[in-house]
Structure 1
Amino acid sequence: MQPLLFDSRDLGQTEEFLSQAYAKMSIGGDVSRPHTQIARRTLGSISVDQLNLNYGMSYDVDPLGKVCLCTVQTGSIVNQVAGDEEEVFGPGDVVLFAPPDRPYKGEIRRSRYDIIMFDPDLLQQVAGTEPGHKPETVRLLGARPISDAAGRHLERTIAYLRDDVLGNPVMAADPLVASSSGQLLAAAVLAALPSNVRAAPDAADRRDAHPQTLRRAIAYIEDNADAPITIADIAAAARVSVRAVQHAFRRHLDITPLGYLNQVRLAGAHTALREAESGGTTVTAVAASWGFFHPGRFARDYRAAYGRPPQDTLKDRVT
């Protein structure tokens, strides 16, 4: 998939493009011919924009309706979300630029940076709550990561999606890759940024974490492992809350539901490699068809499970 490219020295044209790409906004510039360069790639509901501004640009933006993250490479950004104090972001920062439901304003100061946006429903899926159901609706409560380590993990996740996934058009076009990538990003955001998501199961969750719950969840996973399913889907099939199904897997198998799903998908990829016809496929293609969009990680997990590299299994079959 080719990126959407924008390159202009006209401030009015830039404002029109930004209003269409983000939300209605007004902008200003501090030079007569401000140069704006933007490259956008998309993956499902995720968009990753790489921006380069060689001038100071002021902005005043309506609510985006999306979670908006920012990573800064050069320059600085002064940003203020309505109702919050002004923040200054510089090189190396990875932050929540704006929540979905609040306007924001500020100034880009000759900066090169990335904007990452995604549908807030992804947070709901990963957290296991339904959109619009208060007080369970997920809210991000701060712009900066809760720790340096959490920030580094979120930054690496963004870079991985931008460079490795979106940089591979074949993988980026796969629906399972898109679904898994969205969950990966949302999970990294919830792990890195302060939010209202509660961490521990309550008494009802613990009561529901019985073997029957586990059996229903396992049956659903094994029947749908080749489809883009979420933790919320697994919990719904087991007829319990997300935290109950998570507790059931931890209590009885010492693994998470998504960890178990990963094992089932790994077994599916193993079978596909063993049954491959000569010249008919590659390890990368098989891995991607089962939701493994990082070849190195797939090879590592496969070797840990089966004691040999995946290419050896394929070679045995096709030679």
Structure 2
Amino acid sequence: MTPSVQSREFDSRDPAAIHRFLARTYGTDLRIRAEETGYHFVHQRIDAGPFALTATGQTAHLDIEVGEMDGLVVSRSRTAHVKRTCEGSTHRFGPGDVYLTTRPGRPFNLRWAPGLVEFCVLDLTVLTQVATAAPARRPGRIRFTDLGATDARLAGQWRKTTSYISDVVLSNPSTRTQPLVVGNAARMLAAAALAIFPNTAFTDETSADRRDASPATLRRAITFIEENADRDISAADIARAATVSLRAVQLAFRRHLGTTPMAYLRRIRLDRAHHDLIRADPRQETVSAIASRWGFASHSRFTARYHASYGVPPRETLHA
């Protein structure tokens, strides 16, 4: 199914309208109190289904009580100072900080000073796609143990990731409607969040994983990838099809092919794009359209990868 990527803007000075908008958009119980009257609130959001990117600015000192939220909200303060309180624990964040606004399923309070904050709202199922174990060893809901990034370098990586997705993936009409591109972007955000913020995701390799990383596992995984390369599949889907844990299928690819399941999937998709370029009518198709159909959001990266694999730029193949 083609993803519905929608851009939405909201601009208001009416506190009641602002309250209704936030409750409707984020699907949770909340209360807002403002020290100032007639404050100005601006909200720009790109909703891509499994994730949304938002830039929000306001001119008041707001006290916000937020009920339980199921999604993960990663925030980057651009100019605002934010104080977050949950279960007696208080954290303060300022301009440049990257932090978790939510711990899924737990209510919290915010004290938001005037300024701009960027949010990424991520569906929890995407985290599971990136970090899941085998069904028999499923660790349950992933729990984040700290709100702040592990270090400044990782916080910078989050900024680069969201900028890439906003500027390259979602700003291009030819990529933002492609299921493979949107799915890849969601998992990129999930992987970044799991790398940046301390959490309980299952990552350890076990003796069972090493035993299961067999040639038979690899064959099952490759068969699934080749039969489903046109679908939005994740490493967890590949592991499930191979009837092993995520770690086992990753180990199988590393041990026998020197690569990862997702890198192998990208190689298959590059080959499919190559065949489409050979068969395409250059009067009706473009390199960018074919690349994005196979999950490649960046035209320059696709061109470089294609040239390295086939010795010619993709445009030359299309017009041959």
TM interval, shorter chain, is over 0.9
> One-letter code of the match for 2:100?
L
2: CA distance, partners of 1:273 / 1:26? 54
Aligned amino acid, residue 77 of structure 1 = V
Q: Deviations over 1:109-146 (max 9, x none)?
A: 11111111111111111112489986343222211122
Q: Distance in 1 between matches of 2:174 and 2:63?
A: 38
Please provide the CA RMSD for this pair. 1.8
Q: Give yes or no for contact 2:174–2:288 (8 Å, CA) kept in 1.
A: no
Contact kept? 1:66, 1:100, Cα under 8 Å: yes
1:30 to 32, 35, 41: 35
In structure 2, the residue matched to 1:161 is 165
Q: Give the secondary structure class of the aligned counterpart of 1:86.
A: strand
Percentage of identical aligned residues:
36
Q: 1:42 aligns with which of 28, 47, 50?
A: 47
* Greater displacement, 121-130 / 232-241: 121-130
Q: Kindly tell me: are residues 241 and 29 of structure 1, through their superposed partners in 2, closer, same or farther at Cα, counting changes over 3 Å?
A: same
Name 2:22's counterpart in structure 1.
18
Q: Which of residues 270, 273, 282 in structure 2 aligns to 1:269?
A: 273
| TM-score normalised per structure 1 | 0.94
Is contact 2:33-2:62 (8 Å) kept?
yes
Q: Distance in 2 between matches of 1:301 and 1:225?
A: 18
Corresponding residue for residue 206 of structure 2: 202
Aligned length: 315
1:175 matched residue in structure 2: 179
Tell me if the contact between 1:42 and 1:166 (Cα under 8 Å) persists in the aligned partners. no
Distance 2:283 2:226 in 1: 28
1:55 to 43, 57, 60: 60
Give distance in 1, aligned partners of 2:244 and 2:299: 34
Q: CA contact under 8 A between 2:150 and 2:196: conserved in structure 1?
A: yes
SS class of match (2:101): strand
State the one-letter code of the partner of 1:55. Answer: A
Contact 1:124 1:131 in 2 (8 A): no
Contact kept, 8 Å, 1:40 with 1:49, in 2: the verdict is yes
SS in 2 for 1:117: strand
Task: Note if 1:306 corresponds to 2:277.
Answer: no
Instruction: Name the structure 2 match of 1:121.
Output: 125
Distance in structure 2 (CA, Å) of the matches to 1:180 and 1:140: 22
Q: Is the 8 A contact 1:79 1:87 kept in 2?
A: yes
1:207 is aligned with what amino acid? R
TM-score for both structures, normalised by structure 2 = 0.93
Residue of structure 2 in register with 1:216 after alignment:
220
Distance 1:84 1:219, change over 3 A: farther
**The residue matched to 2:285 in structure 1 has which SS?**
coil
Matching residue of 1:71 = 76
Counterpart check, 1:296 vs 2:300: yes
For the residues of structure 1 that align with 2:167 and 2:78, how far apart are their CA atoms? Answer: 15
Q: Which amino acid aligns with 2:53?
A: V
Deviations 1:139-192 (A, max 9, x none): 222111222222111221112222322212332122222211111111111111
Contact 2:132 2:201 in 1 (8 A): no
Runs (4+) off by over 3 Å: 129-134
Segment of structure 1 superposing worse, 293-302 or 18-27: 293-302
Closer/same/farther in 2, CA of residues 119 and 171 from structure 1, 3 Å limit:
same
Q: Which amino acid aligns with 2:18?
A: T
What SS does the aligned partner of 1:186 have?
helix
Point out the more displaced range, 131-140 or 104-113: 131-140
- Name stretches of at least 5 consecutive residues in structure 1 with no aligned partner: none
Does the CA-based 8 Å contact 1:121-1:131 persist in structure 2?
Answer: no
The aligned residue for residue 152 of structure 1 is 156
CA positional deviation for 1:214? 0.3
1:23-71 deviations in whole A, cap 9, x for unaligned? 2110111222110011111112211111110121110100111001111
Identify the match of residue 230 of structure 2 among 226, 229, 238.
226
Distance in 2, matches of 1:206 and 1:249, equals: 12
Gap change, CA 1:278 and 1:299, over 3 Å in 2: closer
Q: Summarize the Cα distance change of 1:2–1:137 in structure 2 as closer, same or farther, 3 Å threshold.
A: closer
Q: What is the one-letter code of the residue matched to 1:14?
A: I
Match of 2:258, as an amino acid?
A: D
Amino acid aligned to 1:283: V
Q: Summarize the Cα distance change of 1:68–1:113 in structure 2 as closer, same or farther, 3 Å threshold.
A: same
Unmatched 5+ stretches in structure 2: none
